[in-house]
């Protein structure tokens, strides 16, 4: 089955630094990847849609200069949280699809970001 690997699973960083999170599709080519953010005991909030070779599409209210997304290949998308602040602390999850509803959407295991 489709497997999505997300790395790192946990990261603690100092306020003001940047953090990069990777999302890889291991056994399929992902035409589209999505990045979500989840606060404790809350639902997943779509942040942006990433299509290989093009600029990401951000949801309303998500700062594109704050959350940089790069989808340079069909198997890798990265989310960089720039100049992180404590309020950026959250659970970030990616998902990937080969495209078309019949393929479904596979999620990574998530990254717990703590900014201190």
Partner 1 sequence: GQQLNQSPQSMFIQEGEDVSMNCTSSSIFNTWLWYKQDPGEGPVLLIALYKAGELTSNGRLTAQFGITRKDSFLNISASIPSDVGIYFCAGQLINTGNQFYFGTGTSLTVIP
User: Does 34 interact with partner 1 (rule: CB under 8 A)?
Assistant: yes
Instruction: Compute φ and ψ for 86, nearest 5 degrees.
Output: -55, -35
User: Does 36 interact with partner 1 (rule: CB under 8 A)?
Assistant: yes
User: Does 109 interact with partner 1 (rule: CB under 8 A)?
Assistant: yes
User: Does 99 interact with partner 1 (rule: CB under 8 A)?
Assistant: yes
CB-CB neighbours of 34 under 10 Å: 23
User: Does 68 interact with partner 1 (rule: CB under 8 A)?
Assistant: no
Q: Which residues contact 41 (CB under 8 A, 6 or more apart)?
A: none
How many angstroms separate the CA atoms of 116 and 114, rounded? 6
- Residues found near partner 1 in the complex (CB under 8 A): 4, 6, 32, 34, 36, 41-46, 49, 57, 59-60, 91, 93, 95, 97, 99, 101-102, 104-110, 112
């Amino acid at each position: 089955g489709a497997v999505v690997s997300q790395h790192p699973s946990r990261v603690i960083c100092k306020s003001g630094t940047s953090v990069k999170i990777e999302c890889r599709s291991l056994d399929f080519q992902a035409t589209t990847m999505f990045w979500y953010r989840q606060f404790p005991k809350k639902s997943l909030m779509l942040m942006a849609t990433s299509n290989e070779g093009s600029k990401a599409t951000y949801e309303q209210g998500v700062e594109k200069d704050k959350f940089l997304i790069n989808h340079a290949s069909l198997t890798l998308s990265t989310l960089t949280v720039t100049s992180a602040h404590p309020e950026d602390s959250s659970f970030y999850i990616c998902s990937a699809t080969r495209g078309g509803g019949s393929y479904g959407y596979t999620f990574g295991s998530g990254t717990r970001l703590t900014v201190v």
